[in-house]
């Protein structure tokens, strides 16, 4: 019996040693690599090395690497080998009109284990500012005139490299925008200003009559935010109520004044496009018209764009 027990014990020892040896030499259950497809939209005015996003890649052992297997059009984008960051490699060939879509296959690898991420980048045409005034052409009142819409003296969104803007004269002082920018003077404020409006006329109750909708609104001037004037501009701080949005909060309105002649107290006024809360929606308001200090009358031809629903009207503003 003792002999038999020794044999059993020896066999068990051999089995244990064998199992231990097998466990040490048995390979892992396998390397697993996972990834996801990637989609994004870019404008065709992107710049070199601009980051678009990151390709996802994971593994259960070690780390993954990233490699572009195919791309159409070729060499438009690049992928970082270590982190999978997708960037612009050649902005010159990214053109919505020629290639509205860029496609890539990116291999996510760990050794011999490979998973592919299918990348689709939609390319859209960037908005165009034809005249360099900082207003995109699809919303510009006149995309060939760099001084329309009129802007306040502190305006900075112009493009000083645009040839149309360079040849303009937005402050009417006889010096081009390009020369003023080069000389360090303000292209939106004349150095010798003879076009300031008389703020005293508007510093009190005002009457607003909507000529199209027939509404008349009267307001006492807000003592906390009285009207103020500068070289060619007037800020009216009373709510600018008119027909389609009469019951909502209205914006303060900055009137940019262009005199009919040097030093005149009558001429054209403009209100640059600005956001406007109309019937709980965010709309845009823009206006042009006339200003006359002698008759104490401002007439504005306005347009409200309420998410594609257009209101046009005429607003007459006079002191009470």
Residue 99 lies in a domain: yes
pLDDT beyond 90 at 194: no
**Count of beta carbons in the 10 Å neighbourhood of residue 189:** 19
Question: In the numeric block, which tokens belong to residue 161?
Answer: 């490299």
In a domain, 129, yes or no: no
| Domain at 221, CATH number | 2.40.128
Higher-scoring residue by pLDDT: 240, 131: 131
Give the pairing type, strands 38-43 and 113-124.
Answer: parallel
- The reply to whether 150 falls in a domain is no
Q: Residue for token digits 């042009």?
A: 288
Tokens of 14: 């051999």
Quick one: tokens of 119? 């990348």
Question: Does residue 49 register a pLDDT over 50?
Answer: yes
Q: What is the pTM of this model?
A: 0.53
| Residue 108 pLDDT class (50, 70, 90 cuts) | very high
Query: Among 101, 124, 147, where does a domain finish?
Result: 124
The answer to whether 288 and 270 have CB atoms below 8 angstroms apart is yes
The pLDDT tens digits for 137-165 are 887 878 899 988 778 777 899 999 999 99
205 and 289 share a domain? Answer: yes
Taking alpha carbons only, the member of 37, 161, 191, 3 closest to residue 108 is 37
Residue 282 lies in a domain: yes
Q: In this predicted structure, what is the pLDDT of residue 8?
A: 45
Q: What is the pLDDT confidence band of residue 91, given thresholds at 50, 70 and 90?
A: very high
Asked whether the bond before 149 is cis by omega within 30 degrees of 0, the reply is yes
What sign for the dihedral angle of Cα 4, 8, 10, 11?
positive
For 254-303, the pLDDT digits (tens) are 888 888 887 788 989 888 777 776 666 677 788 899 999 999 999 999 88
What total of structural domains would you count in the chain?
Answer: 2
Tokens at residue 99, please? 């290639």
Q: Give yes or no for residue 7 having a pLDDT over 50.
A: no
300, 312, 295: which is closest to 150 by C-alpha? Answer: 300
Res 224: pLDDT: 65
The answer to the question of residue 189 being in a domain is: no
Within a domain: residue 104?
yes
Q: How would you list the strands of the sheet with 51-54, edge to edge?
A: 51-54, 85-88, 77-79
User: What is the pLDDT at residue 217?
Assistant: 75
SS3 174: coil
Q: Model confidence at 6, in pLDDT bands (50, 70, 90)?
A: very low
Q: Does residue 212 sit within a domain?
A: yes
- Residue 320 per-residue DSSP state: -
Average pLDDT over every residue of 56-74: 96
Q: What is the DSSP string of 13-77?
A: HHHHHHHHHHHHHSPPS---EEE--EEEEEETT--TT-EEEE--EEESSS--EEEEEEEESTTSE
pLDDT, position 245:
61
Which domain CATH number covers 119? 2.60.40.60
Residues of the domain holding 101: 33-124
- State the Cα–Cα distance between residues 169 and 167, nearest whole angstrom: 7
What does the block give as tokens for 185? 């003077």
Percent with pLDDT over 90 in the chain: 45
Question: 3-state class of 313 per DSSP?
Answer: strand
Q: Write the DSSP string, 211-276.
A: TTT--EEEE---TTS--EEETTEEEE-S----GGGTTS----EEEEEEESSTT-SEEEEEEEEEEE
């Amino acid at each position: 019996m003792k002999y038999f027990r020794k044999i059993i014990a020896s066999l068990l020892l051999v089995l244990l040693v064998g199992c231990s040896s097998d466990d040490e030499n048995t390979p892992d259950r396998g390397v697993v690599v996972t990834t996801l497809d990637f989609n994004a939209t870019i404008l065709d005015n992107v710049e070199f090395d601009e980051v678009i996003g990151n390709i996802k890649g994971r593994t259960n052992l070690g780390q993954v690497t990233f490699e572009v297997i195919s791309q159409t059009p070729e060499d438009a984008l690049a992928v970082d080998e270590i982190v999978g960051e997708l960037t612009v490699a050649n902005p010159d060939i990214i053109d919505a009109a020629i290639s509205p879509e860029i496609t890539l296959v990116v291999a996510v690898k760990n050794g011999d284990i490979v998973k592919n991420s299918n990348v689709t980048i939609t390319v859209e045409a960037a908005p165009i500012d034809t005249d360099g005034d900082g207003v995109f052409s699809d919303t510009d009142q006149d995309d060939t005139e760099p001084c329309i819409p009129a802007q306040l003296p502190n305006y900075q969104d112009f493009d000083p490299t645009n040839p149309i803007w360079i040849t303009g004269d937005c402050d009417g002082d006889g010096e081009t925008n390009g020369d003023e920018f080069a000389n360090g003077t303000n292209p939106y404020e004349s150095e010798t200003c003879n076009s300031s409006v008389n703020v005293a006329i508007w510093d009190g109750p005002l009457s607003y009559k909507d000529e199209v909708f027939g509404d008349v609104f009267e307001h006492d001037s807000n003592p906390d935010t009285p009207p103020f004037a500068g070289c060619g501009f007037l800020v009216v701080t009373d709510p600018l109520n008119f027909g389609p949005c009469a019951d909502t909060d209205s914006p303060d309105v900055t009137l940019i004044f262009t005199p009919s002649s040097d030093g005149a107290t009558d001429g054209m006024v403009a209100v640059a496009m600005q956001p406007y809360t109309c019937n709980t929606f965010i709309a845009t308001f823009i206006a042009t018209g006339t200003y006359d200090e002698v008759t104490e009358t401002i007439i504005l031809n306005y347009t409200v764009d309420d998410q594609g629903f257009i209101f046009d009207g005429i607003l007459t503003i006079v002191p009470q």
